[in-house]
Amino acid sequence: MALLLGGCSGSGGKRAEDEAADVGVGSGPRLRIAMITHSGPGDAFWDIVRKGAEAAAAKDDVELLYSADPDGGEQAQLVRTAVDQRVDGVVVTFAKPDALRDVVRQAVAARIPVVSVNSGAAESARLGAVAHFGQDEVVAGEAAGRELRRIGARRAVCVVHEQGNVGLEGRCAGAARTFGGPMENLYVQGTTMPQVRSSLTAKLQADSAVDGVLTLGAPFAATAVQSVKEAGSSAGIGTFDMSRDLISSIRDGAVAFAVDQQPWLQGYLAVDALWLLKVNGNVIGGGRPVLTGPAVVTRANADTVAPFAARGTR
């Protein structure tokens, strides 16, 4: 029996090795994939995206070349550099799609496949990307609008921390659609958190009828909590995206909800999709965006999500 089991185990292992070889694992030159986003190290959200990309790269034995720049023109230059280096695939964000249009077409013309993550789902296929991984920002915004209504808000502000970012505008537009009451976009300088805080505090002091605040990123939710206190407001706060610290704020009720688009999954799927395309000809999504959200986190399910947020994957 022991010999028989040993023989079965050995045969199964050999078959697994053969199947792995069939899809290119451990054979041929190591793939190089460049990931160029519009936000760099130190941003809680994008650090999670990068972790996902690195996990997929480790699994697939891919060399991941990560870079970022918030300026659309500089981001385009980073993509151009990757094309000149003849990488095997490019991951981009289309926060400012017009800036990337020409360089992405250059990549496609050079037969370098491109996938997009996070921003620009509507523009992705039109600009030549083979797949997009992220949430539909308008649909996610609609979920946020419903949550604001659920917590009893009747007049709200949507805090936009980066002007010209199509994804952020989509979130506010979706929220306004389902909220059912007046919602105003408040544009702030997102690169300077004290300015965000002072701008929101001033708005809440000037308009005491505002009883709902929607921020578009986890760090801005923490700032909104401070602004609400400073203004003497009782406004409820909701946000987009997750972080380890935000879970605590949801648990204690300082923040009512978060709309999570699962950034780790975006980074992981983007790299893995390019690997699958190169080694096995697979195309994920059939030309349509692959949705990673929205997943709404409230006090009711925060304890379930907390362990994953603690390890930096949610």
Query: 209 and 108 in one domain?
Result: no
- Taking the complete model, does pTM exceed 0.85, yes or no? no
Note the pLDDT of residue 29: 81
Query: 127 and 34 in one domain?
Result: yes
Query: 177 and 120 in one domain?
Result: no
CB count within 10 Å of CB 109 equals 10
Query: 240 and 212 in one domain?
Result: yes
* pLDDT, one tens digit for every residue, the chain (314 residues): 343 444 444 444 444 344 445 555 555 689 999 999 998 677 888 999 999 999 999 999 999 999 999 999 999 999 999 999 999 999 999 989 999 999 999 999 999 999 999 988 889 999 999 999 999 999 999 999 999 999 999 999 999 999 888 889 999 999 999 999 999 999 999 989 999 999 999 999 999 999 999 999 999 999 999 999 999 999 999 999 988 889 999 999 999 999 999 999 999 999 999 999 999 999 999 989 999 999 999 999 999 999 999 998 98
The answer, yes or no, to whether the previous bond of 182 is cis (omega within 30 of 0) is no
**Residue 158 corresponds to which tokens in the numbers above?**
């949507």
* Pairing mode of beta strands 257-260, 212-215: unpaired
Query: 188 and 226 in one domain?
Result: yes
User: How far apart, in whole angstroms, are the C-alpha atoms of residue 214 and residue 203?
Assistant: 13
* 155 in any annotated domain: yes
Query: 75 and 166 in one domain?
Result: no
User: How far apart, in whole angstroms, are the C-alpha atoms of residue 297 and residue 306?
Assistant: 10
Query: 188 and 306 in one domain?
Result: yes
Note the pLDDT of residue 13: 43
Q: 265 with 292: CB under 8 angstroms?
A: yes
What is the tally of structural domains in the chain? 2
* 3 in any annotated domain: no
User: How far apart, in whole angstroms, are the C-alpha atoms of residue 309 and residue 314?
Assistant: 5
Note the pLDDT of residue 43: 81
H helix or E strand, kind and range, residue 314: none
Query: 112 and 205 in one domain?
Result: no
Note the pLDDT of residue 122: 87
* 252 in any annotated domain: yes
CATH code (residue 188): 3.40.50.2300
Note the pLDDT of residue 22: 56
* 72 in any annotated domain: yes
* 38 in any annotated domain: yes
User: How many residues are given for the chain?
Assistant: 314
* 294 in any annotated domain: no
Query: 151 and 70 in one domain?
Result: no
Range of the structural domain that residue 174 is part of: 137-260+299-310
